Amino acid sequence: MPREIERKFLLKNDAWRAAAVRSERMSQGYIAGGERASVRVRIAGERAALNIKSGGLVASRAEYEYPIPLEHARELFALCGQGLIDKTRHIVPLGGFEYEIDEFHGMNDGLVVAEIELDDEAQEFPRPAWLGKEVTDLERYYNVRLVKHPFRDWTSQERNP
């Protein structure tokens, strides 16, 4: 079973921008987003994919991703009743790892989250000075939750974990 092991962090500052090697705008929506599994459709540039994650909103989950035709993804967006996530993903390589830094737009404008994928939950990884508080265990930072409760609606307490 393919697994995604991913940790999420807030950022202390914008120093990471100088190290970004590429950026790509993405739109994604959720056809289903329950407690046990989510089904996501994403368009990134001229590519589209259908993604299924199971195991809850935790660091290690089962993940399946399948490329689909761009036209199909656009049609599937109509099934995403909660709305879409709009973000730019920036790639920052560091010490043999890649940080994916998602800069959100629209209803989640102002939110920036760094993610790093690991081979093992206990794996060590570089922690640059710009990396802030870990939010892996806070469900509100997961995209499937941001669709339902966007950053613009967060209280000041929610914005400062």
pLDDT band at 49 (very low <50, low <70, confident <90, very high): very high
Reference 51, options 15, 76, 83; nearest CA is 76
Residues 148-161 have a mean pLDDT of 92
* Mean pLDDT estimate for the chain: 93
Neighbours of 41 (CB within 10 A): 23
- Would you say residue 59 has pLDDT above 80? no
pLDDT at 53: 87
pLDDT score for 93:
98
The whole-number average pLDDT for the span 105-110 is 97
pTM for the whole structure: 0.92
Q: Once rounded to an integer, what is the mean pLDDT over residues 17-28?
A: 97
Mean pLDDT of 4-9: 92
Average pLDDT for residues 85-96, to the nearest whole number?
A: 97
Query: In terms of pLDDT, which residue wins out, 161 or 100?
Result: 100
Residue 134 has pLDDT above 90, yes or no: yes
Q: How confident is the model at residue 1 (pLDDT cuts 50, 70, 90)?
A: low
- Contact assessment for residue 66 and residue 17, using Cβ atoms and an 8 Å cutoff: no
Report, in this order, helix, strand and coil percent for the chain, each rounded to 5. 20, 45, 35
Residue 57 DSSP one-character state: S
* Average pLDDT of span 136-160: 93
Q: Over the stretch 116-130, which tens digit does the pLDDT of each residue have? A: 999 998 899 999 999
User: Does residue 66 have an active-site annotation?
Assistant: no
What does each C-alpha distance from 91 to 21, 54, 75, 101, 115 come to in angstroms? 6, 25, 28, 6, 10
- Active-site hit among 30, 99, 141, 142: 30
> How far from 3 is each of 9, 55, 65, 119, 125, CA to CA, in Å?
20, 10, 11, 9, 18
Q: What is the DSSP-derived secondary structure letter of residue 46? A: T
Amino acid found at 77: F
